[in-house]
A and B are shown apart, each in its own frame.
Chain A
Amino acid sequence: MIISKKEYLNNLLDSFCKYEEKLNILSNKAYPSDIVKKFIEKDLKMIIFEFEEIVHKDLKSSNDHFSEKTVLVNYIWDQGPLQNIAKAVANTDFKSHPLEIMNVFRDLIKDIEKNDFEILTIPREEMNFSFSEIWFKLKRILEKELNMSGFTVNKKFIKLTFPKNHKNNLLLSGIFFHEIGHYLVEENNFADRIFQNIDFSSADFLSLRKYIYANNGNQLGQVELVNIFKRYYLINWIKELLSDILAVYTVGPAFIFSMFNLVINSTNVNNFQNDNLINNCSVSHPRFSFRFNLMSKALKELKIYNELPEPLRDKIKSYQDAYANSNNQQSNRSGNIRINNIYYRIQESKFLFQQLEKIINNLIPDMLAESEQLLGERNIINKDKLNQAEKLAQQRIKEVIPPNELYNTAADPIAIINSGWYTKLLYKSSLKKRVGKIEGKNGDYDLNLLINDLMKYSLRTSRIQRRWQD
């Protein structure tokens, strides 16, 4: 052995002690919720003390082998869930907490999951949104395998990261709903449920073997195909599309407009001018044209597509057309994957992707129906919420009045989020005229700022108003 057991364990202990120091620093910070502080001081410290104890015991033992508990502790440490929690806690703070939109998510998740949870919001420099649970799985394994008990925090900790510069950009908040979709998909094993509905004996599915070569030269069997697409392409596409559906079902057109806004901002100017929008499939994502089609299908399924004002319908149609008619060609690429010690080469081409889309198309009715079931009627957008959004835009935001209520009744938060987009797309010039000074060098920046401020105020006050009304 290059290093002795003693040296190895001392190194491990050293890492634990550094972690403990970090916890001491973190426990002095202020957090948006008291529970975070309690979590650091009680639970995380208890875990690291227990880890230290296990390693100390093993250090004292005369056995040359590591104890089972040390192996387990070492594995958990290497996987990094504890470090991940500390990193999340270290990066969350009061100032960066986008309170207004967070309350909308809180209410939504609470209603769907019926579990208690805490959200840790983490601003990032890059344009990246994410949503994931970071505590419950670790807690479960510590209780089961190390017999640890007495944790003070018995609820989920959800880590939410968002682009720092867009903290107050509620016009972009539709994207968050897609990320919540990913969270719900992961927490409910939703993608596997849908994947299982694929007809693995169908000619469509079995024809996928044409695009895959096993490096051992064998003809691919049905079982191998299932195992490949359970890890690549199909499963990932199902996850993305489910998250899109969940976002459309909760926040409706606001998600489509947010997403297009985000996508177009990252499009190269040459591609934009030459109708060359990137519309490629990848191992992780289906192409945008497929996604935009599905989004509009989801709106139609909810019977709200035709309720949208014509300019908004036209806008959504124009996104679909722009991507469907893009000149950007999918390149033929190939890549290697390894499953079960066998290497496979996958030849990507438009034919493979068309075949995958055909298979996915057969799953869409299940995806729509099960999404509806998961969310429950109360959390699904409907005609009433959209009519409210339209009125809030027309009667309130356009007149520079916050859209917090309509006819003395607190506005629905989903209607408020949509009202921002309705205003931007339907009443932009009237609002500019009304405010007067919003004209000139900053383009739409000041206008967006104004709409966002009105929306933010309204999300906050309508929540209070709803509580009074209830």
Chain B
Amino acid sequence: MLMDYSQKQENSLFDLSLSLAFKKFINSLTEAKDSKSENYKLTIKFFEVIIDFCNKQFSELNNEFSGADAFSIFTSALNNMDIKVETIDDVLEEAEKYRNYLISFKREGTLEPGEMDELIKLLEEINNQLKLKLESNQMNSWGY
């Protein structure tokens, strides 16, 4: 029936936590040194839950942020980078590409310059989307 939406507000605390992890990970990438493993783990997990979502397997970052949430943030970030993704298969392809970048980075400690720029730009866009999500306070209007 009627529901108190205060819980939603507290859920956004995880968005903040995720955004901070991305920020720290971007710093590590930019300074070309290994990230703290928890930030790396959370960043790679972010792409894995998207891949799971596309493959119709349910997974989540924690019980507040699911593959569908990550999918939504990721596709918005891609859109801002003018990367056109229309179908779920397109998204899967992109998510796998970035996941592979992260794995290579972890293994080799560096990436090709083009790949590194691409990855940093995407992570920054994701972080922007998370910030937008944090800031948006039901800005949608309903004109009945």
Contact = CB atoms under 8 A, between A and B. Distances in A.
A424 interface: no
B28 interface: no
Interface stretch (B53-61, B101-109, B112-120): B53-61
B98 interface: no
Contact of A223 (B2, B16, B56, B85): B85
Interface string B77-99: 00110000111101100000000
Given A336-B141, A336-B143, A195 B68 contact: yes
A442 interface: no
Contacts of A262: 1
Interface stretch (A45-53, A134-142, A377-385, A402-410): A134-142
B144 A192 contact: no
A349 interface: no
Contacts of A134: 6, 10
A196 B53 contact: yes
B17 interface: yes
Interface string A123-148: 00001111111100110110011000
Question: Which of A187, A223, A226 has the largest count of B CB atoms less than 10 A from its CB?
Answer: A223
B13 A221 contact: no
Contacts of A129: 1-2
A335 B56 CA distance: 30
Nearest to A196: B58
B80 to A, nearest CB: 8
Interface residues of A, number: 57
Contacts of A223: 75, 85-88, 90-91
Given A196-B58, A226-B71, A283-B142, A175 B1 contact: yes
Question: Which of B10, B11, B85 has the largest count of A CB atoms less than 10 A from its CB?
Answer: B10
Interface stretch (A19-27, A178-186, A388-396, A444-452): A178-186
A188 interface: yes
B68 A192 contact: yes
A30 B11 CA distance: 30
Contacts of A132: 4, 6-7, 10
B37 interface: no
B87 A193 contact: no
B76 interface: yes
Interface in A193-243: 193, 195-197, 200-201, 221-223, 226-227, 230-231
Given A75-B16, A76-B13, A79-B12, A222 B66 contact: no
B88 A222 contact: yes
A137 B13 contact: yes
Contacts of A128: 2, 4
B72 interface: yes
Given A144-B17, A230-B72, A192 B66 contact: yes
Given A186-B7, A227-B75, A335-B144, A137 B64 contact: yes
A137 B64 CA distance: 10
Interface string B105-133: 00000000000000000000000010000
Given A137-B64, A192-B58, A222-B88, A79 B142 contact: no
A226 B58 contact: no
A138 B68 CA distance: 23
Contacts of A197: 56
Contacts of A168: none
B16 A200 contact: no
Interface string A167-183: 00000000100110010
Contacts of B91: 223
Contact of B88 (A81, A182, A226): A226
A145 B16 CA distance: 10
Contacts of B12: 79
Contact of B66 (A141, A193, A283, A333): A193
A99 B112 CA distance: 64
Nearest to B77: A340
B130 to A, nearest CB: 12
Contacts of B3: 130, 179, 182
A25 B14 CA distance: 31
A190 B142 CA distance: 27
A371 interface: no
Given A145-B20, A200-B88, A334-B143, A133 B7 contact: yes
A396 B82 CA distance: 71
A376 B66 CA distance: 23
A339 B91 CA distance: 17
Interface of A: 72, 75-76, 79-81, 84, 127-134, 137-138, 140-141, 144-145, 159, 161, 175, 178-179, 182, 186-189, 192-193, 195-197, 200-201, 221-223, 226-227, 230-231, 259, 262, 283, 333-341
24 contacts: A75-B134, A84-B6, A130-B6, A131-B4, A132-B6, A132-B7, A133-B7, A138-B10, A144-B17, A145-B16, A182-B3, A186-B7, A192-B66, A196-B58, A196-B67, A197-B56, A227-B71, A227-B75, A262-B1, A283-B142, A335-B140, A336-B141, A338-B140, A340-B129
Given A192-B66, A338-B140, A340-B80, 13 more contacts: A129-B1, A137-B10, A137-B14, A186-B7, A188-B63, A196-B66, A201-B88, A223-B75, A223-B91, A226-B71, A231-B72, A283-B142, A335-B140
